[in-house]
Structure 1
Amino acid sequence: MTATAAPERVTDPASPSRPARRSWPAAVTAVAGGTALIAAHGALYGNWVVDDAAITFAYARNVADGEGSVLQPGLTPTEGYSNPAWLALLALGKLVGLFDRGTLFGVPDYVLFPKALAVLCCAGVLLACHTAARRVFRRPGLVTVAFGAVLAAIPSFVVWVFSGLENPLYALVICWLAVVLFGAVLDDRLLSGRVAVTAGLLVALAALTRPDGLVYAGAYPLLVLLTSRRAGLAAAVRSAALSTAVFLVPFGAYVAWRRVEFGRWLALPAVAKSQGPPEPAQFTRVGEVVHYTGALAVLVVAVCVGLVLARGSRLASGLVALLVPLGLALLGFAVLAPDWMEQLRFATPVWVLGALTAVFAVARALGRGGARRRAVLSVALVVAIVPSAAQFATAARQFRAQPTVPMCLIAETFGRGFNGPADILGVERATLLLPDVGGTALTSRLAVVDLVGLAEPRLADLWGARDMPGVRDYVFERVKPTFIHSHGSWSQATGIAEDPRMAADYHVISAGPVAEDWVRRDAVPDEARLTAMRDYLRERVTRAHGEQAKSPRGRCGPALRPGQQP
């Protein structure tokens, strides 16, 4: 093991000549201040929750109600989620009456609870930063607030942390993993059993929060490899093996349960998305992160990191422990199939680890050298920050105006929207096939079939094989749904709207100029009811859809329940 450099004599106020005093009031103030900055940015997006998050909401509801791992009560159990750790938090919230019950302080708990969890996770991220900063800076509070300010400025981070998805928990786990490794390197105890076990458990939690969390299984072994001497190779191997074994026990147990319960090694979303081996061209996707951040800002930060590493200080040793997981975060982002959602949804760990590394490196670089070097670096930072800030402001403004697939828009238009036509037909248990199933599953009394395959096993397999003729055959020959909705890219990808069986077996009931809604001909007893359904969609559902579209950051009632109507 390479010995950690002894604390050198320092003159700048940014670095401690002795360990920073424990000052919990100052720490709480710094963490609260940084969290408030992030929450203030998050408040710009109001009550918006992305519809994909509502898929997990639906599973959490049914798990907590004792219905099992189902999208809706009575359906066959499936694993239509890939974030079991986040699902567990939501289910726990429902069990204790904080989620999916009604309103809290006048706000629907389907908005308040996941966003409150996000705020708590952000506070945990900032606490991790303070824990690391107090080891190497005399003013860790200032560093922590700066870290919070950087995260608050990045729309990609804030948008997806407050989206209702698992991103805040993922950010928290990855940040603490990096901080644990950071402290272990500073204390020259990287090979200790406690560190190995802690790292393994954190990696397991990351992998149970998002599938790409598996990439961080390499963080501890890689860091051990980089910092160990040849003479200590045996101890390094033992520690790496221990950490890996600790990771595999809980994660392996979950995978084994999945295999027994569902007969699959992968969750349905992973099957449907068919993540293949990475191709060389995919690694250029790191450029998307650089472009989003601003090339000049990245360059200035890289120079500061280089200055810190070149000096070989105590912080330099710890900085390596941050760069290893940061590199893995960039790798994970690059190899994942591009996501159709906006604002780099999969880059959350990159922002957390990148901001932590940047703030530490810049703080140290500004605290070193003479007045001339500080002045030059300060000017460079300002010049780099201005275009990045302008770019971030534009991204936040655009997303605020048109957020990605609001859950309430889906719940109102499709979940509640198709309950009325089903009532007109007088059917007790109809089926509804569509590509947006989150808010739909929370509000529809119909049996929902996921056209995209995220919660439908056979369709997941067909999507994974990119067998669109098979998708259409399964829909028209096996499922034979009572109602079908498809639109835009989903209709183009599947070819479902143009299939001859659609015209032969279904009536068009869409209110608009393009056919997007259909009902089975054999489910309609007479022309009067067909007309009534068309009138319902044209008058009531179109109006409700328009109101939600005008207020994409709004709410959709105090609670989401099956059978509701617009």
Structure 2
Amino acid sequence: METLVAGHEPAAESTEPDQPLKRPRRAGQVSAVGAVAGGAALIGGHAALYGNWVVDDAAITFAYARSVADGLGPVLQPGADPVEGYSNPTWLALLAIGRLVGLFDRGAIFGVPDYVLFPKALALLCCAGILAAVHLAAAKVTRRPWALTLLVGAALAVVPSFVIWSFSGLENSLYALSVAALASLLFRAVMDDRLLSPRVALYAGLLVALAALTRPDGIIYLDAYPLLVLFRLTRPMFAVSVRAVLISALACLVPYGAYVGWRLMVFGRLVANTAVAKGQEPPELESLSRVGELIGYGGGLAFLGWAVCVGIALAHPSRLRAALGGVLVPLGLSLLAFCVLAPDWMGELRFATPFWVLVALAGALALPTALRSVSARARLLLAAGLVLATLPSLAVFTTAGKTFRAAPTVPMCLVGEAFGRGVNGYADVLGLREASLLAPDLGATAMSTRLTLVDLAGLADAPIADFWHDKDWRGLRDHVFTEVKPTFIHMHAPWSAQTGLISDPRLETDYHVVVGVDDGVVGGDWVRKDAVPSQEALAALRAYANTVVRPAIQLQQAAPRGTCGPVLRPDQGPTPS
């Protein structure tokens, strides 16, 4: 009767892994710290292979963090209209705090630019947090939780998709941490028979709010707690279950709803401008076939071995069988989110970061029971089979990591050199004090140009976002050529072809070609004819582009994992060759 009043369900048949696992307190703390630090070191070691690379999309948030920290509000650059060109407010907040305390966007630290060091250090801390959540859950199933923690750390360290995007400068690491903490909380709550306690419900809701304010698709995890409660629902506990679900929902929706309300007041939209520009289509049944992308990347044999271990654990009569739902439910939601989201052009399965964490966590928690549940001979066969099943995956991961290392996705420094500092130089040659630039690559450009930016991709430009959402290419072209009339235009495929800007006759009528790109990519640089005072000035601009800007860009192309100096500032010109 006491258990029912407390809001817990009767315990299932007790087995060895469900018994209190007591260890000397100090020894346990030392092993926990060592396992978390060791696993994080493995992940960080892999991340070091990609050097100083930061993807340019991350620099969009960097630019907003600079504006917020400088008291300018949520704008891309000084003087711009407020547009929510970011979709990761919690990550933005961490970066803004870093700038306020002098750790971000201020210069170099130990010779490394802080626009590289600070977000990567945050990512490493988030990875350590993930492993701490793993250790808390592992302590419920084994007397050696450090071993499972190290196992998860090693598993995550070999997956390029996880490491690349966790250390890309984007919010992936914080997002994965919020989801891992949620899964660990739910797992431990079921193991301890306290799933329906108000505290667990409250924390679950707050973690979902953190996930949803870190990435828009994080709101899907709002379903995790109610689903887990539903699976364990009994008639006597109906009222308590409803109360717990309401507490969890309110804990999430109050802070999340407050942000949405603020968004509506400041930006005039219910969703981020980025979501409007990307035009996410309603999901179709065929989207579920994208599961094959994850299996193909991770390896069919490895997933088969994982499924065998989890299956054995689920078949074993213990409290663990119910508790695994605390991980498997979020895992299923992460899989659904990946399938529903439009495929990402950046490669390496950018939206799969939480999936890798939850797969590793579920497998690690199931492994001890799976090994204990079979005979000694079968245990050896199972262990050997698991090792052999991972070998093809390791080969695939090695190739993927080497390929990405050689040609990482859109380095921010390349963008800053080409469209920030480079176009600053164009304006200097022509003696322009005020000018504007239309370009599709926005992040480092916003940090390094003094020109007024017009975002061809629409992420930080509300009118252009609407054109992208409606696929109104004629309207977009009219807007560019008759209303915006940018001083400079840069475009390349696919933006040039999809919008039709490059074939619009007004481009030839109103603009001079500065640089034409003739290497298989349709695009180039243009300048408005009325901004060029003479043919001599045009010749000087073209000469500058070919002798100063192009060599500076080529230097960045030759070192895609390098940096672009200690700071990015709007008054800079191209890096000397």
TM-score tier by shorter-chain length is over 0.9
Aligned to 2:544: 536
Asked if residue 260 in structure 1 is aligned to residue 265 in structure 2, the reply is yes
Q: Distance in 2 between matches of 1:341 and 1:414?
A: 20
Asked if residue 445 in structure 1 is aligned to residue 450 in structure 2, the reply is yes
Q: Distance in 2 between matches of 1:539 and 1:63?
A: 37
Task: Quickly say closer, same or farther: Cα 1:106–1:182, change in 2 above 3 A.
Answer: same
- Say which is worse superposed, 509-518 or 57-66, in terms of deviation: 509-518
CA offsets 1:353-395 (integer angstroms, 9 cap, x no match): 1110112222332243222111221221122111001000000
Aligned to 1:62: 67
Asked if residue 227 in structure 1 is aligned to residue 235 in structure 2, the reply is no
Match of 2:365 among 357, 360, 368: 360
Q: How does 1:23-422 map to 2 (within 5 A)?
A: 23-422=28-427
Q: Distance in 2 between matches of 1:464 and 1:304?
A: 45
Task: Quickly say closer, same or farther: Cα 1:9–1:360, change in 2 above 3 A.
Answer: closer
TM-superposed deviation, 1:16: 6.2
CA contact (8 A) 2:496 2:523 kept: no
Match of 1:562 among 559, 570, 574: 570
Aligned to 1:4: 11
Letter in 2 for 1:339: D
- Say which is worse superposed, 511-520 or 214-223, in terms of deviation: 511-520
- Tell me, which stretches of 5 or more residues in structure 1 are unaligned? none
Q: Distance in 1 between matches of 2:19 and 2:116?
A: 43
CA contact (8 A) 2:514 2:526 kept: yes
Match of 2:437 among 423, 432, 447: 432
Match of 2:21 among 15, 18, 40: 18
Match of 2:558 among 532, 542, 550: 550
Aligned to 1:496: 501
Letter in 1 for 2:495: W
Secondary structure at the residue paired with 2:85?
coil
Q: Distance in 2 between matches of 1:466 and 1:355?
A: 40
Secondary structure at the residue paired with 2:336?
helix
Task: Quickly say closer, same or farther: Cα 1:69–1:535, change in 2 above 3 A.
Answer: same
CA contact (8 A) 2:493 2:523 kept: no
Secondary structure at the residue paired with 2:503?
coil
Q: Distance in 2 between matches of 1:485 and 1:392?
A: 35
Asked if residue 458 in structure 1 is aligned to residue 463 in structure 2, the reply is yes
- Tell me, which stretches of 5 or more residues in structure 2 are unaligned? 1-7
Aligned to 2:531: 523
Q: Distance in 1 between matches of 2:274 and 2:527?
A: 27
User: Which ranges of 4 or more aligned residues in structure 1 deviate by more than 4 Å?
Assistant: none
TM-superposed deviation, 1:413: 1.1
TM-superposed deviation, 1:482: 0.2
Task: Quickly say closer, same or farther: Cα 1:312–1:303, change in 2 above 3 A.
Answer: same
TM-superposed deviation, 1:427: 1.4
Secondary structure at the residue paired with 1:119?
helix
CA contact (8 A) 2:43 2:156 kept: yes
Secondary structure at the residue paired with 1:374?
helix
Task: Quickly say closer, same or farther: Cα 1:350–1:9, change in 2 above 3 A.
Answer: closer
- Say which is worse superposed, 152-161 or 183-192, in terms of deviation: 183-192
TM-superposed deviation, 1:234: 1.8
Letter in 1 for 2:12: A
Q: Distance in 1 between matches of 2:412 and 2:314?
A: 46
CA contact (8 A) 2:21 2:140 kept: no
Secondary structure at the residue paired with 1:190?
coil
TM-superposed deviation, 1:104: 0.7
TM-superposed deviation, 1:4: 3.0
Q: Distance in 2 between matches of 1:313 and 1:150?
A: 26
Letter in 1 for 2:524: E
Q: Distance in 1 between matches of 2:12 and 2:552?
A: 65
Q: Distance in 1 between matches of 2:417 and 2:53?
A: 14
Letter in 2 for 1:378: A
| Residues matched between the structures, number | 562
Q: Distance in 1 between matches of 2:227 and 2:111?
A: 49
Letter in 1 for 2:49: L
TM-superposed deviation, 1:446: 0.5
Q: How does 1:447-486 map to 2 (within 5 A)?
A: 447-486=452-491
TM-superposed deviation, 1:223: 0.4
Q: Distance in 1 between matches of 2:11 and 2:573?
A: 65
Q: Distance in 2 between matches of 1:474 and 1:362?
A: 59
Letter in 2 for 1:254: Y
Letter in 1 for 2:534: D
CA offsets 1:287-324 (integer angstroms, 9 cap, x no match): 11111111111111111111001012232222111000
CA contact (8 A) 1:200 1:243 kept: yes
Q: Distance in 1 between matches of 2:250 and 2:434?
A: 48
- Say which is worse superposed, 159-168 or 528-537, in terms of deviation: 528-537
TM-superposed deviation, 1:9: 3.9
Letter in 2 for 1:8: T
- Say which is worse superposed, 125-134 or 420-429, in terms of deviation: 420-429
Q: Distance in 2 between matches of 1:362 and 1:9?
A: 14
Letter in 1 for 2:418: T
TM-superposed deviation, 1:20: 4.3
Q: Distance in 1 between matches of 2:9 and 2:205?
A: 22
Q: Distance in 2 between matches of 1:407 and 1:338?
A: 22
Secondary structure at the residue paired with 1:517?
strand
CA contact (8 A) 2:133 2:181 kept: yes
Task: Quickly say closer, same or farther: Cα 1:105–1:7, change in 2 above 3 A.
Answer: farther
Q: Distance in 2 between matches of 1:131 and 1:52?
A: 34
TM-superposed deviation, 1:268: 0.8
CA contact (8 A) 1:434 1:449 kept: yes
CA offsets 1:466-500 (integer angstroms, 9 cap, x no match): 11111111111110000000012111111111111
Task: Quickly say closer, same or farther: Cα 1:497–1:142, change in 2 above 3 A.
Answer: same
Q: Distance in 1 between matches of 2:397 and 2:366?
A: 22
Q: RMSD of the alignment, in Å?
A: 1.3
